[in-house]
């Protein structure tokens, strides 16, 4: 029964978007209705917080991957590529300034 209830809560609320406050609120409601003991409530919160954090991490990784794929398809330069290009330009400017100073 408790496992079914957990699964319903996870599915119904979207564990990736639950805040700690919301999880505590759900726990308190379940405690008030006698559906969980204090210890079960603590375990429920800990488990749900852990799942929520994991789901958020997975979502972030998925979004980063999809954005990178789209940028690659669009042919846009990355931040690192732009930084390397700027460094090369700075080096060329320094070389030109040295040569101008030498009379070449």
pLDDT tens column, 7-38: 555 555 565 566 777 777 877 887 787 777 77
How does pLDDT run across 33-80, given as a tens digit for each residue?
777 777 777 787 788 778 877 877 887 888 888 888 887 899 988 889
3-state secondary structure of 14: coil
CB 19, CB 53: distance < 8 Å: no
Q: What is the mean pLDDT of residues 75-98?
A: 94
Amino acid 18: pLDDT: 65
Using alpha carbons, list the distances in angstroms from residue 15 to 7, 58, 63, 95: 10, 12, 17, 56
pLDDT of 37 reads 78
- Residue 1: is its pLDDT beyond 50? no
Alpha-carbon radius of gyration of the chain: 27
- Any alpha helices (H) in the chain, and if so which ranges? 2-13, 20-32, 38-74, 79-102
User: CB atoms < 10 A from the CB of 53, how many?
Assistant: 14
- Answer for the pair 49, 11: CB distance below 8 angstroms, yes or no: no
């Amino acid at each position: 029964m408790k496992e079914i209830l957990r699964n319903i809560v996870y599915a119904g609320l979207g564990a990736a978007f639950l805040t700690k406050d919301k999880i505590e609120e759900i726990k308190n409601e379940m405690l008030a209705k006698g559906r969980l003991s204090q210890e079960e409530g603590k375990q429920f919160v800990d488990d749900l917080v852990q799942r929520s954090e994991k789901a958020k991490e997975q979502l972030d990784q998925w979004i980063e991957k999809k954005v990178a794929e789209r940028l690659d398809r669009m042919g846009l330069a990355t931040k690192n590529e732009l930084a390397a290009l700027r460094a090369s330009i700075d080096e060329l400017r320094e070389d030109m300034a040295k040569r101008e100073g030498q009379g070449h």
